[in-house]
């Protein structure tokens, strides 16, 4: 067989591949930059929420920079070392480089994790202030119920046998426990602005979740557990509470509202509810 043309190998394919990689990088950066999380998500209403946003921004910036540099590096290598029909030569790689980028990755991941740990752990692993308002949150298929201890400041005992939503006792508050007589059970969560609130999150059946975007809080409700979590909302308003665990057929309808109100409105809410119990 006669070879009429010089063999140029797969140079054209390699050039095309590196071009595609560059286009993909530009397209990805464009999608992220035009939908920046802080441009499309609602503003946080807690100081911890602001810390969490800052942490997300930092993680995105670091991960985004690494992504852009590594992909452009890949495109460069594919183009520079493309096949012209030359003889390939074998290299063994570099242990020093391997050690450097493995260490850099560990430092980055651990560093971001340690920095983020504080914002995440603050609402979970440190106890709420003693004067925090206690509210019990109970998820069941497919509603939220919020219970306040009432004027005596004490939650009544719960007895699963007495659960009867149709007769007005969805949580099964024990009729024989005097502490439960003044308990307030409502389908929406009302809290005063700038006061610490300690939530006690429970589930009556399957795994649910308590999620409020503006609080930057998302916590599973586990059957058999009471999970405490505290926050201090700093902006009056109404915010949606949603269940973010696929908890059954009615999951998409499982939502409620968090009302952050002034002290006067909160007192009025408690009085009104106490009168109605």
Q: How far apart are CA 209 and CA 38, in angstroms?
A: 23
Query: How many C-beta neighbours within 10 Å does residue 221 have?
Result: 25
Q: CB 135 → Cu ion: shortest distance, Å?
A: 18
The reply on whether position 241 binds Cu ion by CB under 5 A is: no
Q: CB 13 → Cu ion: shortest distance, Å?
A: 51
Nearer to Cu ion, 211 or 266 (CB): 211
Q: How far apart are CA 243 and CA 224, in angstroms?
A: 18
Contact 184, 274 (CB under 8 A): yes
Q: x/- contact string, 202-231, with Cu ion (CB under 5 A)? A: ------x-----------------------
Torsion of CA 230, 236, 239, 241, to 10 degrees: 30
HSE-CB for 180 with a 13 A CA cutoff? 14
Where does this chain touch Cu ion (CB under 5 A) — which range of 16-24, 178-186, 254-262, 263-271?
254-262
Residues near Cu ion (CB under 5 A), total: 4
Q: CB 256 → Cu ion: shortest distance, Å?
A: 11
Q: How far apart are CA 40 and CA 38, in angstroms?
A: 6
Binds Cu ion by CB under 5 A, chosen from 14, 173, 191, 243: 243
Question: DSSP readout, 46-57?
Answer: SHHHHHHHHHHH
Binds Cu ion by CB under 5 A, chosen from 229, 254, 258, 261: 254
Where does this chain touch Cu ion (CB under 5 A) — which range of 43-51, 91-99, 163-171, 235-243?
235-243
The reply on whether position 78 binds Cu ion by CB under 5 A is: no
Where does this chain touch Cu ion (CB under 5 A) — which range of 94-102, 147-155, 188-196, 238-246?
238-246
Q: CB 219 → Cu ion: shortest distance, Å?
A: 12
The reply on whether position 247 binds Cu ion by CB under 5 A is: yes
Q: CB 255 → Cu ion: shortest distance, Å?
A: 9
Burial 162-191 (b: 16+ CB within 10 A, else e): beeeeeebbbbbbeeeebbebbbbbeebbb
Q: CB 205 → Cu ion: shortest distance, Å?
A: 9
In sequence order, the β-bridge partners of residue 140 are 143
- Could you say which DSSP state residue 212 is in? E
Nearer to Cu ion, 67 or 142 (CB): 142
* Residues found near Cu ion in the complex (CB under 5 A): 208, 243, 247, 254
């Amino acid at each position: 067989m006669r070879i009429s043309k010089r063999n140029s190998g797969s140079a054209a394919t390699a050039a095309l591949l590196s071009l595609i990689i560059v286009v993909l990088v530009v397209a990805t950066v464009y999608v992220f930059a035009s939908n920046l999380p802080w441009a499309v998500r609602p503003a946080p209403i807690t100081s911890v929420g602001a810390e969490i946003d800052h942490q997300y921004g930092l993680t995105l910036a670091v991960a985004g920079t690494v992504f852009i540099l590594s992909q452009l590096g890949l495109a460069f290598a594919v183009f520079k070392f493309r096949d012209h029909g030359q003889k390939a030569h074998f290299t063994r790689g570099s242990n020093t480089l391997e050690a450097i980028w493995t260490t850099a990755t560990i430092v980055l991941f651990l560093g971001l994790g340690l920095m983020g740990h504080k914002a995440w752990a603050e609402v979970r692993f440190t106890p709420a202030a003693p004067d925090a308002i206690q509210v019990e949150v109970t998820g069941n298929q497919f509603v939220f119920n919020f219970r306040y201890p009432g004027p005596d400041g004490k939650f009544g005992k719960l007895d699963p046998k007495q659960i009867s939503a149709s007769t007005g006792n969805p949580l099964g508050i024990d009729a024989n426990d005097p502490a439960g007589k003044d308990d307030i059970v409502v389908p929406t969560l009302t809290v005063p602005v700038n006061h610490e609130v300690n939530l006690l999150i429970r589930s009556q059946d399957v795994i649910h979740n308590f999620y409020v975007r503006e609080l930057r809080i998302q916590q599973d409700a586990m059957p058999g557990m009471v999970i405490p979590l505290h926050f201090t909302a700093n902006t009056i308003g109404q915010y949606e509470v949603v269940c973010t665990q696929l908890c059954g057929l009615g999951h998409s309808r499982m939502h409620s509202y968090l009302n952050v109100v002034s002290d006067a409105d909160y007192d009025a809410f408690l009085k009104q509810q106490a009168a109605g119990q």
